[in-house]
Structure 1
């Protein structure tokens, strides 16, 4: 997860330099590459992880690829140079192709599916390499290649679905959620540490720290505040659930980067206003809230409880325009999000003593 942390750091620096709109496309593109490589590995592992020596070696190759990607992230944000990150991405993807070819050899029933995966991935990697090193890679072309990447599993699984395990997939996604939340907290901590070292901590910064921790706690609780029925993708198709988590992860990392940047704003080490910073935090939190609502609550809840998330999102969006200091704004957001937990019937049920 070094690569995700690096992307978050680059977004943090872009925010405080008031270069958000220049850096945002780079952040979304880089995060897609990181998430997509991780996601494909996770779903493959759920179906075909035999933990033998060759599997471990190929996994190590993918780890090397992720480190190469991490090394190339600063170049993307600085000069839109994708050379290193695409090399790392292709290393990861070609290692996965080898694993799919192994699966084709040992699973005759799903051999066609495995070959579809392998051939599809190779073709798209050729597209990435040609587009980048022929210097024709643009945002529209990037989006076209993303569509092809997303289409490969849909096409492959139509022949004969791979034997992935729902509980295993849910666990993998939950672990990445915790990791990204943790890295976001670490990023905020580093900003606070720098402020303490510079002796520039003030009262708004203290409110920001408390509010930021409350937000992270509430976001963590919101993700895991779901019943067993969600573990079976009730009401949501697996592809929608799996692909939709891109926005969950990207918003969590964005909240972390925004909170770290907010520390710089409260200590007067940034080039943006409190209002702008508050809006960035609010939009990141609302994106996360909307994703959780659509993936876990919209199809499974009824009555007024179904609308807790939209109401919470609306209130959070209004807060930066009411509070004229980002520290107080984040504190208010943390209060609102935490109150949502207390209002929720699920929270009340969870804090009651369990009958043994």
Structure 2
């Protein structure tokens, strides 16, 4: 019998036995580090939360409650995205995949589910003029964050070199949770509560930057973080595909399969693929591994990125609602699609800019060309939808709906083609200049 390679035995022991292991910090310079199965499982619960928020946004926008719906959506997306970023930051520095780490991660996933169950209450409260915060969401959020306090304290005990920074993270999270709870328990006018929530959010975003600059950088891996963010972006784009399927299913159910249903299906899939293509034209992993200090601004640029992508799915759901209920105007559909797609394009440009630390005016003509189809979609909707809600028994309304969705899709296609023809050259020039400097 052939002897088993000792390296293989050690690998199997690490992969299959999850007893407690030292949490002494990972190698921040490790190349080709990939996401673990527990991290991928963790991501799935967050995508469910994104999808639930997008569905509620579409429902309330279709009902005409645009302002409150957008406010509740922003609140939900920040809560979900920020909790995910905090865990990803910790896991990149200290994820050892032992049993205790796995259990703490699963408990956080339970918190995501609880928070998701509180989203309908949040949107209803916002629609009635109340604060989007509610007890169920706070309970879920606390369950999401408290296990991380224990993990940070464990890391502080087992990694003396970074003890002060790890303790600072635990204290910051604990203080933040007290603040979130107080905004629910202490009665206050809506404006005051919202102001406090914004202040808490800004404080939570600023505190980690200050802590690591004052107390020392933790051993997070820039390449691993780039992969984790790109994977969540990819999974969130699945919401666009799911929403496309829903919109086409509604149209097919109302009219049967038709040229319009096929056109909307094709446009939705092309839109998802184009946004994927555009995002991955940002050379995140290569640049962050070379210059890890750029990770901070780059990761914060993803807060609006995740929300914008999920909102594209909400726009497609608004289109589906127009088909099913015929109470939504073509202008509402156009705006519901054009605004989030435009926001994704803007955040892609912003993410590239903060990553490369360069702002190229040659991108402005491309940016304008990208926005032209979005403006055209709204103009077409305003002209064709003057008479009120979409009536898909009217060939003119059906044609206008397909045209609007196709124009929004064209915008993302223009972004991709433009970057493939022009943008990559500037990326190379910026890198060459940075290396020369």
Question: Do both proteins adopt the same fold according to a TM-score greater than 0.5, normalized to the shorter chain?
Answer: yes
CA contact (8 A) 2:240 2:309 kept: yes
Deviation of residue 71 (structure 1)?
A: 1.1
> In the TM superposition, what is the alpha-carbon distance from 1:291 to its structure 2 partner?
0.7
Give the conservation status (yes or no) of the 8 Å contact 2:156–2:164. Answer: yes
The total of aligned residue pairs comes to 349
Q: Does 1:322 align with 2:383?
A: no
Equivalences for residues 80-95 of structure 1 within 5 A? 80=132, 82-95=134-147
Task: Report if the CA contact (8 A) 2:165-2:217 is conserved.
Answer: yes
Choose the corresponding residue for 1:247, options 298, 304, 319: 304
**Partner secondary structure for residue 118 of structure 2:** helix
Q: Find 2:419's aligned residue among 319, 328, 344.
A: 344
Structure with larger RCO (C-alpha < 8 A, sep 6+):
1
Quickly say closer, same or farther: Cα 1:345–1:130, change in 2 above 3 A.
closer
Q: CA deviation at 1:151?
A: 2.2
Match of 2:430?
none
| Structure 1 runs not aligned, ≥5 long | 350-356
Name 2:218's counterpart in structure 1: 162
CA contact (8 A) 2:288 2:295 kept: no
Residues 282-323 of structure 1, C-alpha deviation per residue, up to 9 Å, x if partnerless? 111111101111111574575735642343134423432135
Q: Could you say which residue in structure 2 is the equivalent of 1:354?
A: none
Deviation of the 1:73 alpha carbon: 1.0
Question: In structure 2, what is the equivalent of residue 263 of structure 1?
Answer: 320
1:190-339 correspondence to structure 2 within 5 Å: 190-199=246-255, 203-227=259-283, 229-232=286-289, 237-265=294-322, 267=323, 269-297=325-353, 299-300=357-358, 302=360, 304-305=362-363, 307-323=365-381, 324=384, 325-339=400-414
Cα distance in structure 1, aligned partners of 2:81 and 2:276: 19
CA radius of gyration, larger in: 2
Point out the more displaced range, 124-133 or 185-194.
Answer: 185-194
Matched, 1:145 2:232: no
Tell me how far apart the structure 1 counterparts of residues 87 and 423 of structure 2 sit (CA, whole Å). Answer: 37
Structure 2: where are the runs of 5+ without partners? 1-46, 126-131, 385-399, 425-437
1:174 maps onto 2:226 in alignment: no
Shift of 1:89: 0.4
d(CA) in 2 for partners of 1:256, 1:234: 34
Is 2:99 the counterpart of 1:53? Answer: yes
Secondary structure in structure 1 of the residue aligned to 2:68: helix
Q: In 2 relative to 1, CA 56–231 (structure 1 residues): closer, same or farther, beyond 3 Å?
A: same
Evaluate the alpha carbon distance shift between residue 202 and residue 278 of structure 1 in structure 2; reply closer, same or farther with a 3 A threshold: farther
- Compared with structure 1, are the counterparts of its residues 147 and 5 closer, same or farther at alpha carbon in structure 2 (3 Å cutoff)? same
Aligned equivalents of 1:337 and 1:55: distance in 2? 40
Alpha-carbon distance between aligned partners in 1 of 2:234 and 2:303, rounded to the nearest angstrom: 14
Aligned to 1:352: none
Report Cα offsets for 1:88-144 as digits up to 9, x if no partner. 101111111111001100111111101111111101111111111223362111101
1:34 and 2:76 matched: no
TM-score by length of 1: 0.89
TM-score, normalisation: structure 2? 0.74
Counterpart-to-counterpart distance in 1, 2:341 and 2:264: 15
Structure 1 contact 206–327 (Cα < 8 Å) conserved: no
Q: Which whole-Å deviations, capped at 9, do the CAs of 1:200-255 have from their partners, x for residues lacking one?
A: 66654543332222211110100012346444486983221111101111000001
CA contact (8 A) 2:248 2:264 kept: no
Pair 1:119–1:108, CA change in 2 (3 A):
same
Range moving further from structure 2, 276-285 or 189-198: 189-198
State which of 90, 94, 100 in structure 1 corresponds to 2:152.
100
CA distance in 1, matches of 2:253, 2:140: 36
CA contact (8 A) 1:180 1:253 kept: yes
